[in-house]
Amino acid sequence: MTREAVLELLSSSDPADLAEGARAVGRDLAHRRTAEVDLVRRHLEDHPGTDDFARGFTLALEQVASAFAVAGAESEELSPLLRAVALRAGWRKVLTALADGAARPSELALRTTLSRGRISHILGGLERTGLIERPKAEPSGDGRQRPCRLSPLGYRVLVDSAHTPAVAGADLDAGVVATTALLARLLGSGRASRAALEEALAEHLDRAAIPRVVDTALRAARNAGLAVVGPDQAVTLAELHLQDVVSDALADALADDSPAIPVIELARARAPEGGLVVVRSELMRSRWDIVIAKRGLDDMRLIASADWFTGEVDRIAPRDRPFAMVYDSPTLARSERGSEHARALLRRADSVFCYAVAGTVLPDDITAIEVA
């Protein structure tokens, strides 16, 4: 659907049109087409609808789009802003008032019962920190009366600060360090839950601060490719999560009626033309072996470390056929750097890949196949 068509739908007051337009925006969000969504968001703000229903709808949609635009923002980036908002009651009042829609300074003064002078001062601060946006003043117009609206960052900070009371910066930093250490300990067994983490922190930190501290620590762990946080808030060590993903794919592949298995196809797609994919696995080698045989995957082979000893490597990866290596574990890929046998095989490979979760750090010459 073209942007014009979406905008037209969203300018309608017919609920069916609005719903159709919202679905289109939803698809853009799902595909991370944030620039498209931002244009829609700006349009909605200039054309907020013709009746109460349409105005409410467009405001809701705008907030969703804005929240999404900064969903990936780091807590490290947000925390100074959250602290600033927590310390300034006037800022909070104005941001809260703007959540009801764009407004001119005079209208904000009415909504917040603050003086015009005070509003002007606050708006200057909010604009400098990027929490609000104001169109450029028109040469003929009155600059002081330009309408203001929340920026995506403003929405995010407002929502976050509403849910979590102010925590002093030093406390937050100390809390995150403590939580990260605790997370590492809990993950020693491979899996933990958010609840267990919060529970363990309860004796060290102010209860109100815990959710934010845990959020930051988990995000840091996730960004570093150390852990994966599931929709059920279970926290799994990245390597174990990856094992689950590959193991599930192999189990799917054994069920006779399964169509192509995406995780396996991602590896097969790496084969050079006329060549093979050589999977390097230890823990799940029997499953790979069985799946390759049972599904008749002629372009795939398995190499387990036993093959180094029994001299079968050249039969599995013949010298006259190009091949790509695919590791099914980053730990294996890293630890094998020291193996003479593995290095000899890697030198013959056209390219080397490894299944990984986002953020996993791999050796330079190994490309991640992201599967989670």
Partner 1 sequence: MRLRTARLDEIRDVVVVTPRRGLPELMHRALAETGALLHGHFALYGGKHTEYFIRFRALSRSHELLGLVADHLATRVEPGVQTVIVPESAGFFLGDALAKRLGATVAVARTDLQRRPARSLYDGAIGRGDHVLVVNDVVTTGASLEPLLDLAADHGAVVSGVLVFGALDGPGFRAVLNRRGVPGDHLLEAGPAWAMRDPDECPACLAGELPVLPAAELN
CB of 11 to partner 1, least distance (A): 55
Task: Report the C-alpha gap between 349 and 275 in whole angstroms.
Answer: 10
Q: Which of 117, 310, 347, 364 binds partner 1 (CB under 8 A)?
A: 310
Name every residue whose Cβ is closer than 8 Å to that of residue 97 and which is 6 or more positions away in sequence: 103, 108, 111, 112
289 scored as a contact of partner 1 (CB under 8 A): yes
By CB under 8 A, residue 314 contacts partner 1: no
Which listed range, 27-35, 37-45, 259-267, 307-315, lies at the site for partner 1 (CB under 8 A)? 307-315
- Which parts of 226-255 interact with partner 1 (CB under 8 A)? 251, 254-255
Q: Distance between CA 343 and CA 335 in Å, rounded?
A: 11
Asked whether position 312 contacts partner 1 by CB under 8 A, the answer is yes
Q: Find the binder of partner 1 among 243, 276, 287, 355 (CB under 8 A).
A: 287
C-beta of residue 190 within 8 angstroms of C-beta of residue 240: yes
Residue 349, classified by CB atoms within 10 Å of its CB into exposed (0-12), middle (13-18) or buried (19+), is buried
**Piece of the chain touching partner 1 by CB under 8 A; list 90-98, 128-136, 155-163, 284-292:** 284-292
- Taking the least distance from each CB to partner 1, the nearer of 53 and 309 is 309
CB of 254 vs partner 1, minimal distance in Å: 4
Hey, CA dihedral for 262, 233, 31, 18, is it positive or negative? positive
* Residue 173 interacting with partner 1 (CB under 8 A): no
CB of 290 to partner 1, least distance (A): 5
* Among the listed residues 33, 47, 294, 337, the single contact to partner 1 using CB under 8 A: 294
Task: Establish if 344 lies at the interface with partner 1 (CB under 8 A).
Answer: no
The torsion angles phi and psi of 14, rounded to 5 degrees, stand at -80, 120
Residues that bind partner 1 (CB under 8 A): 251, 254-255, 286-287, 289-290, 293-294, 305-306, 309-310, 312, 315
